[in-house]
Amino acid sequence: MTPTSSSFSLNCAGKTISLSTPVVMGILNITPDSFYDGGRFLNLIDQLKQVEKMISEGAVIVDIGAMSTRPGSIPVDEEEEIARLLPSLAAIRGHFSEVVISVDTYRSAVAKAAIEHGAMMINDIYGGRFDGEMFDLIARHNIPYILMHMQGSPDDMQINPHYKDVVSEVHEFFRSRLHLLPSGFNQVVLDPGFGFGKTVENNFRLFQQFESFHSFGFPLLAGLSRKSMINRVLQIKPQEALNGTTVLNTIALLKGANILRVHDVKEACEAIKLVRQLSH
């Protein structure tokens, strides 16, 4: 583990998460069209069963997505995103008070409604670029904010991603976005955005230098679960990518990842336990 990982904690609406040991964020897509699990968790019973499973396997955070952001996806309107999200959020909050609920959205109106209904963290794939109100909203509520890098938008990001130097450009993106955050707000998690507007080569170049992003002084999230950077190298489908995901999650932990965002919680928690053993 990197020495920096022991110094981070997040205040999630009064609940403190220590990142002295990396934690797992379980993914709950309540969408019909997400790349791996779209359509599996459309009703509340299935959603609650999946959240219960993830918590029992060790998830500290559950990240709810009510709109797919897979490559080529078409966004639903704001009203539909909120209509999908709020019943699920209320049910999960009512049944599982111990878990930190994150909401995956880039719209401030959706984030506002989510926070008012119990969300304790916001995960924004645009890093605030889509909605100029997002930074002020997050700072006003002082809840953790995952600031992710993406080139383009979900509908076009994989058509022709291009960089002169992907590592330096993602560094510059973080510098510029962090500079725009309201003064005094520091509840930020950085996510380099594997698979979002990047070729396989871009992704692995970024991954090689993942630890360099600790220079900003914020926790790092690794979102590698079942993504195309695994599938294309191994020539497999997302459904076959658990082993590849675990390999890359393990490397991410060795490079200082503080949060693993995954579909498969049990395996990610096991990776954390084994990597921790190295430092004993």
Whole-model pTM: value is 0.93
- The alpha carbon of 200 is separated from its chain's Cα centroid by a whole number of angstroms, namely 19
Whether pLDDT at 81 is above 70 = yes
Say which residue, 11 or 34, is predicted with more confidence.
11
Residues carrying an active site annotation: 227, 261
**What pLDDT shows up at residue 36?**
47
Q: What percent of the chain has pLDDT over 70?
A: 94
Going along the chain from its start, the domains and CATH numbers come out as: 9-278 (3.20.20.20)
pLDDT band at 31 (very low <50, low <70, confident <90, very high): confident
**What pLDDT shows up at residue 184?**
94
**What pLDDT shows up at residue 5?**
47
